[in-house]
């Protein structure tokens, strides 16, 4: 009976698994934008402004505007679209952000263009509050 080197078999299995994953590619992609909300030095006020922008812009209202601007985008495409407030720490300072994102299964969806469109809408909301 022939014996196999266990480490060689394990290495082959690992290589085959990695080749399979690489051949299949990622199962989904994500496009994301962050809007820094900095209208003053007060972090709490900046966070409140970020929350106000998210509330005023509204996820569903933005989704409707996206579909108007991008007629080939369906409600199904936008199921993973989200906007939310985030707090990020940068160089020891807290930054209030409005984060928008969308996950999508293939590169046919113009996700980066959609996120640029949303970013412009959110920037306009921020400018109106300054």
Whether residue 43 lies inside any domain: the answer is: yes
Closest CA to 45 of 105, 114, 102, 130: 130
Which range, of 23-27, 50-54, 117-121, averages the lowest pLDDT?
Answer: 23-27
Question: What mean pLDDT do residues 24-42 have?
Answer: 84
Is it the case that residue 111 has pLDDT exceeding 70? yes
pLDDT tier, 28 (very low <50, low <70, confident <90, very high otherwise): confident
Whether residue 3 lies inside any domain: the answer is: no
Whether residue 91 lies inside any domain: the answer is: yes
Whether residue 72 lies inside any domain: the answer is: yes
Closest CA to 34 of 13, 53, 6: 53
Whether residue 9 lies inside any domain: the answer is: no
Neighbours of 102 (CB within 10 A): 24
Neighbours of 109 (CB within 10 A): 20
Span 3-20, pLDDT tens digits: 555 555 445 554 655 455
Whether residue 45 lies inside any domain: the answer is: yes
Residues 19, 25: Cα–Cα separation, whole Å: 10
Q: At what angle do helices 43-57 and 59-69 cross, to 10 degrees?
A: 60
Identify the pLDDT of residue 51: 95
CATH code at 70?
3.30.300
Which range, of 34-38, 86-90, 98-102, 112-116, averages the lowest pLDDT?
Answer: 86-90
Look up tokens 């199921």; give the residue.
Answer: 79
CA dihedral 73, 77, 83, 89 (to 10 degrees): -110
Residue range of the domain that includes 110: 27-129
Per the structure, how many domains does the chain have? 1
**Element containing residue 96 per DSSP (H, E):** strand 93-104
Span 46-97, pLDDT tens digits: 999 999 999 999 999 999 999 999 999 999 999 999 999 999 988 888 999 9
Whether residue 70 lies inside any domain: the answer is: yes
pLDDT tier, 130 (very low <50, low <70, confident <90, very high otherwise): confident
Q: What does the mean pLDDT of the chain come to?
A: 84
């Amino acid at each position: 009976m022939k014996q196999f080197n266990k480490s060689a078999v394990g290495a082959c299995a690992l290589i085959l698994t990695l080749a399979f994953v690489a051949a299949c590619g990622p199962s989904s992609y994500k496009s994301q934008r962050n809007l820094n909300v900095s209208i003053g030095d007060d972090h709490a006020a900046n966070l409140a402004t970020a929350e106000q922008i998210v509330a005023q812009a509204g996820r569903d209202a933005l989704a409707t505007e996206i579909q108007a601007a991008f007629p080939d985008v369906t409600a199904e495409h936008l199921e993973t679209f989200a906007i939310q407030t985030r707090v990020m720490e940068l160089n020891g300072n807290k930054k209030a952000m409005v984060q928008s994102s969308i996950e999508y299964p293939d590169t046919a969806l113009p996700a980066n263009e959609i996120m640029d469109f949303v970013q412009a809408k959110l920037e306009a909301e921020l400018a109106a509050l300054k």
